[in-house]
C-alpha cells in the first residue's frame, strides 16, 4: 500500500511557484492576497492566520480584514469593493462561516471573478465547468495534483466520487472527466453505495462524515483520495476509515497530511494565475 502524502506534492508545486514569484520580485512586483474574516469563528480565525503566514512566507503580500461579528453586510461589501478596485490585490479569499446578518452568496457574487481564487462565483463555476477558463476550487485541484504527482492512471479508469457539493464533488468529477476517466457521482440518496465503490479503480471521498467508507467497501488495489476532515473523539479523521482501508487499497491519502496540505498551495498558484491572466493574457 502506498501512502499518498500531500507534503511531497505541495513541495513540488511550491518549488515551481517560488521560481515564478522570484522573477516577479526581481521586477518589483509583489502579488497581493486579501483575506476576509467576519466574526469570531475559531476555525476561520485559525485558517486566516495560517493562510496569512503561509502566503507571506511564499513571498505574497497579504492584507487581512477582520470585521466584528456585528458588521453589516454593507461593511463587508465595502471591503470586497475596495479590494476589487485595488490593482495590488490579485486574489480575494472570503472565509466562512459569516454571521447571520451577512448573506455569503451576496458577498461571493460581489467578488471580481478575476480575483475569485477559490472558484466560488457563478461566473467562474460556469467558465470552468464549460472548459472556457475561470478558476477551479482549490480542493478539487489538490485532488488532481496528488493523482498526477503519484502517476495514478485515470484514462479509461472507473472513478467513484462520493459527495456532490459545488466546492468539491461536482468540480472534481468534471476534472476527472477531462482526464478521460469514467465517473460515477454518488451522494446521500445513492442506493447500494458499496456496490458502486466495489467497482471503483479510484475513490474520491468528499462527504464530510467520519469513516462513512470502510475498507470492506473498497475494490482491492483501489486508489483512495480522502477529502474529509472530521472531528471524532478529539481526533482529526477522514471520510474513509484509514485503518481498514490500508488493508485493501493500493494507495490512500492520510488525514491529516493528505489533500488538505496541498489545497493551500493550489490557492497560492491561483493567485499567480490571476496575475498571469490579468497581465499576460490580455
Quote the pLDDT of residue 282: 52
CA dihedral 65, 262, 272, 165 (to 10 degrees): -70
DSSP 185-197: EE-TT-S-HHHHH
Split at pLDDT 50, 70, 90, the class of 266 is very high
Class of domain 27-117 (CATH, top level): alpha beta
- 239-251 as b/e, with b when 16 or more CB fall inside 10 Å? bbbbebbbebbbb
CA 128 and chain centroid, separation: 14
pLDDT for the residue numbered 43:
87
> Looking at the predicted structure, is the pLDDT value of residue 116 above 90?
yes
User: Mean per-residue pLDDT for 177-181?
Assistant: 97
pLDDT, one tens digit per residue, over 12-36 is 999 999 999 999 999 999 999 999 9
160 and 202 Cβ atoms separated by less than 8 Å: yes
Q: Name the β-bridge partners of 130.
A: none
Give the domain ranges of the chain.
Answer: 27-117, 138-260
> How far is Cα 52 from Cα 90, in angstroms, rounded to an integer?
15
Cell of 92: 480575494
User: One fold for both 27-117 and 138-260?
Assistant: yes
238, pLDDT greater than 60: yes
Residue 4: count of CB within 10 angstroms of its CB: 25
Please report which confidence band the pLDDT of residue 240 belongs to, taking 50, 70 and 90 as the band edges: very high
The model's pLDDT over 79-90, given as tens digits with 9 standing for 90+, comes to: 999 999 999 999
Give the C-alpha separation, 132 to 161, whole Å.
23
| pLDDT tens for each residue of 64-107 | 999 999 999 999 999 999 999 999 999 999 999 999 999 999 99
The domain 138-260 having CATH identifier 3.40.120.10: the answer here is no
Cα–Cα distance, 60 to 111 (Å, whole number):
20
Confidence band (pLDDT; 50, 70, 90) for 281? Answer: low
Beta strands (DSSP E) in the chain are 2-3, 32-38, 61-67, 89-94, 158-162, 182-186, 202-205, 223-226, 230-232, 235-237, 251-252
- Mean pLDDT over each residue of the chain, to the nearest integer: 96
| 224-234: pLDDT as tens digits | 999 999 999 99
Amino acid at each position: 500500500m502506498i501512502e499518498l502524502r500531500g507534503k511531497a506534492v505541495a513541495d513540488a508545486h511550491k518549488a515551481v511557484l517560488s521560481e515564478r514569484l522570484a522573477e516577479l520580485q526581481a521586477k518589483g512586483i509583489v502579488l497581493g492576497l486579501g483575506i476576509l474574516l467576519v466574526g469570531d469563528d475559531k476555525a476561520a480565525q485559525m485558517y486566516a492566520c495560517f493562510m496569512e503566514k503561509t502566503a507571506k512566507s511564499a513571498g505574497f503580500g497579504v492584507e487581512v480584514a477582520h470585521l466584528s461579528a456585528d458588521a453589516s453586510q454593507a461593511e463587508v461589501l465595502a471591503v470586497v469593493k475596495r479590494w476589487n478596485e485595488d490593482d495590488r490585490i490579485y486574489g480575494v479569499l472570503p472565509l466562512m462561516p459569516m454571521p447571520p446578518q451577512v448573506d455569503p452568496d451576496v458577498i461571493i457574487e460581489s467578488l471580481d471573478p478575476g480575483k475569485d481564487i477559490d472558484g466560488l462565483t457563478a461566473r467562474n463555476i460556469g467558465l470552468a465547468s464549460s472548459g472556457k477558463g475561470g478558476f477551479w476550487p482549490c480542493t478539487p485541484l489538490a485532488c488532481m495534483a496528488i493523482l498526477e504527482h503519484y502517476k495514478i492512471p485515470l484514462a479509461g479508469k472507473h472513478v467513484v466520487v462520493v459527495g456532490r457539493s459545488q466546492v468539491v464533488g461536482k468540480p472534481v468529477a468534471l476534472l476527472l472527466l477531462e482526464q478521460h476517466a469514467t465517473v460515477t457521482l454518488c451522494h446521500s440518496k445513492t442506493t447500494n453505495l458499496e456496490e458502486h465503490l466495489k467497482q471503483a479503480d479510484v475513490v474520491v471521498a468528499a462527504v464530510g462524515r467520519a469513516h462513512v467508507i470502510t475498507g470492506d467497501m473498497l475494490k482491492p488495489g483501489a486508489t483512495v483520495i480522502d477529502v474529509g476532515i472530521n472531528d471524532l473523539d478529539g481526533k482529526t479523521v477522514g471520510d474513509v476509515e484509514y485503518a481498514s482501508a490500508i488493508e485493501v487499497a493500493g494507495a490512500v491519502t492520510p488525514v491529516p497530511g493528505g489533500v488538505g496540505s496541498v489545497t493551500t498551495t493550489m490557492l497560492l498558484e491561483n493567485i499567480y494565475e490571476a496575475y498571469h491572466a490579468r497581465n499576460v493574457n490580455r
